């Protein structure tokens, strides 16, 4: 009986991994939540998987399409009015992104919505399209200077931790759900992921 109780206790206490708190989709776990993962490669993969909550959130995906133009809203509906990517990822001549999107969010007077804004405002390049792409492939993509705008891993950390357009994801204006956590936490996860070898999910 004692051994059975010991087994139950061990299963109860040991069943949850060290990073179980990361299971909540709207919360980002801190890097030290993964410290008990002894294998550095596995820890790196777990850190990037946590980063994936941001990368695959509508705040990011809406402007990282693989084909066509941007989507909008939490439901990633087609952009209204209809727009196209254009040659420079900035819309068509005469209907560029800044025709409607200014340097800051503008709330509607008639309801709880808003027009998002930031300077600059543009689509991510096709090489950085994420919609429908697996997290492992996104990981390989953002590490690849030929596809990520020539960024080193250190420059990628600065981008994630400090870039204002990335930061907009946590201040998206009325009518939109912010990305999980905060940009500071996202930057910390990026730093820890790089420091553990920048491994990608399989």
Residue 35 lies in a domain: yes
Q: What's the domain count of the chain?
A: 1
Position 22 confidence tier, pLDDT thresholds 50, 70, 90 = low
Q: Read off the pLDDT band of 9 (50, 70, 90).
A: very low
Q: Is the pLDDT of residue 71 over 80?
A: yes
The rounded percent of the chain whose pLDDT value lies above 70 is 89
Classify residue 202: in a domain, yes or no. no
Determine whether 164 is exposed, middle or buried from the number of CB atoms within 10 Å of its CB (0-12, 13-18, 19+). Answer: exposed
Tell me, yes or no, whether 17 lies in a domain.
no
Burial (Cβ within 10 Å: 0-12, 13-18, ≥19) of residue 45: buried
Which residue range forms the structural domain that includes residue 160? 26-195
17, exposed or middle or buried, with CB in 10 Å at 0-12, 13-18, 19+? middle
In a domain, 85, yes or no: yes
Say what the pLDDT of residue 12 is. 34
pTM for this entry: 0.87
Per-residue pLDDT tens for 129-156?
A: 999 999 999 999 999 999 999 999 999 9
Is position 9 within any domain?
A: no
Alpha helix (H) residue ranges in the chain: 2-14, 40-55, 58-61, 135-143, 153-162, 164-167, 183-195
In a domain, 4, yes or no: no
- Residue showing tokens 């390989």: 140
């Amino acid at each position: 009986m004692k051994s059975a109780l010991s087994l139950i206790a061990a299963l109860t206490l040991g069943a949850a991994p060290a990073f179980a708190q990361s299971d909540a989709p709207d919360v980002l776990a801190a890097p030290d939540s993964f410290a008990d993962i002894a294998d550095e490669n596995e820890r790196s993969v777990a850190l990037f998987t946590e980063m994936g909550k941001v990368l695959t959130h509508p705040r990011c995906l809406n402007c990282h399409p693989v084909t066509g133009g941007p989507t909008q809203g939490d439901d990633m509906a087609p952009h209204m009015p209809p727009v196209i990517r254009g040659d420079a990822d900035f819309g068509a001549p005469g209907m560029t992104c800044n025709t409607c999107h200014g340097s800051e969010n503008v709330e509607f007077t008639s309801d709880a919505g808003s027009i998002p804004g930031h300077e600059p405002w543009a689509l991510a390049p096709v090489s950085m399209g994420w919609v429908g792409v697996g997290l492992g492939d996104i990981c390989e993509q953002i590490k690849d200077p030929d596809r990520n705008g020539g960024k080193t891993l250190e420059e990628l950390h600065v981008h994630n931790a400090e870039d204002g357009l990335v930061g907009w994801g946590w201040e998206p204006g009325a009518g939109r759900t912010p990305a999980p956590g905060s940009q500071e936490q996202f930057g910390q996860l990026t730093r820890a992921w790089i420091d553990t070898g920048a491994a990608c999910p399989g």
